[in-house]
Amino acid sequence: MNYIQQVFKVKHDFWRYIVGSIIVIIASGIGQIPFTLAALFKAMKSGGSVFEMSESDLMTILEPNLNLFLLLLSFGFALVALFIVVKYLHQQTIKELTTARKKIDFIRILFAFFFWGIISSGMVLLDYYAAPEDYVWNFELKRFLILAVIAILFIPIQTSTEEYVFRGYLMQGFGALAKNRWFPLVLTSLIFGGMHVFNPEVSKLGYTVMVYYIGTGFFLGIITLMDEGMELALGFHAANNLFGALLVSADWTVLQTHSILKDVSDPGIGFYDIVLPVFIIFPIFILIFAKVYKWKNWNQKLFGKIEEPVKENYKILD
């Protein structure tokens, strides 16, 4: 039984996915209360108003490490809520939400994590040595160590939340609704990209950067469908955000951190921002993963129908 098809074993009425999504959104909102209160207190103390601030100002009003911790905290609330929804509203296990394999393959997660972590770090270092004028040394040991603790503990929670919501919960929900594989791939990728529309990067670089976010959604969705599980997407996404937060930040990005380097170049959309990752690196990664894990039946796995199993083969939960 494949990754989406196994959802027919549990309670999969689409109204449950609507209710479940609302619960997760509410939980995320509750998790944002500490950040909102801290920002309000800081604004009042400085004689300003948080309601008059731009989004970029709001993202930098607090000390960067505290800011990062409070921003990531809401993802923990959302992930706990999602797991509760899956268990009690759908009567589904976390394993079934994660993979079609007999158990979650942590080796796959680690492979994708270190593979992309090493390559992405190498690309940052190459760019630093190729254009050192675009960077300033930002390393402060004490602040970096605090950042490292926060990032290592909470960024995987943030990325896992996004993966479990989009490549897990909604991928299976839309798949059960449409009974095909292309519809959930397209819809979850568009929603995932659209979720980033309020990031400071979009206001700074323009809507063209949405090609990167939507393209990333397609890449993560493709490897999930082809591999019949989320493990590779979990590892890749965690590495992307974690190594990025530790290595380099910029004044116009959503995550302001005490990273080792700070990018001070004029922001702009170019070959290295969209074309290289979306149209070159991601396809190469798909081919590498396909070779390593011997993916076959591409047309069926990406565009095929999803047949509901014969009811005699499993117990229907009313």
Instruction: Write down the domain spans for the chain.
Output: 5-313
pLDDT category of residue 56 using cuts at 50, 70 and 90 = low
Q: What is the pLDDT of residues 230-244, one digit of tens each?
A: 999 999 999 999 999
User: What separation, in Å, do the N-terminal and C-terminal C-alpha atoms of the chain show?
Assistant: 21
Q: Is the pLDDT of residue 34 over 80?
A: yes
- The pLDDT score that the predictor gives to residue 202 is 82
What is the per-residue DSSP string for 117-178? HHHHHHHHHHHHHH-GGGEEE---HHHHHHHHHHHHHHHHHHHHHHHIIIIIIIHHHHHHHH
- Look at strands 261-263 and 248-249 and give their pairing: parallel
- The pLDDT score that the predictor gives to residue 298 is 97
- The pLDDT score that the predictor gives to residue 203 is 77
219 token code pair: 């890449």
Is the pTM higher than 0.85? The answer reads: yes
Mean per-residue pLDDT for 83-95? 98
- The pLDDT score that the predictor gives to residue 309 is 82
Q: Which of 109, 160, 143, 147 is nearest to 244 (CA)?
A: 147
